[in-house]
Amino acid sequence: MKAINLISIAFGAIAGTYARYLLNLSLLYAGYPIGTVIENLLGSFILGLLTGFFVWKKPKEWIKLGLGVGVCGGFTTYSTFAGDVISLTQRHLFWGAIYVMVSLVGGILLALAGYLCGEAAGKNLVKVHEVK
């Protein structure tokens, strides 16, 4: 892998992880792992958005990797999700199941919505450049 790709992923991961940390700090006392839900749902939407956009507007590889693998990978967290599921289901099986469903189904639906939005934005951008 090229050095620029690794550097881009590393800096993107720093930015994504820092954003996740700040979000968790602001929601620390919610009593429910809402921060993890928001991170994973928002991250799914953003990754879908980028993926759809990049279908039409091809970025340099280091940009794509930095934003997708780096920022989105650093922002979202599967390990915290798994830990939250265990913690919730030990206390309240029902709320643990709801948490899993919202996270998984919501993540997939938001990734799809993001993809469709990104694809539409990319297609419109290409059309605008063709008109000029």
Query: What are the binding residues for Na(+)?
Result: 73, 76
CA distance 5 to 89: 40
Q: Which residues are annotated as a binding site?
A: 73, 76
Interior angle at CA 5, CA 60 and CA 13, nearest 5: 110
Around 95, how many Cα atoms within 13 Å sit in the side-chain half-sphere? 12
Contact 49, 114 (CB under 8 A): yes
Helices (H) and strands (E) counted in the chain, each on its own, are 6, 0
Backbone angles phi, psi at 33, to 5 degrees: -75, 55
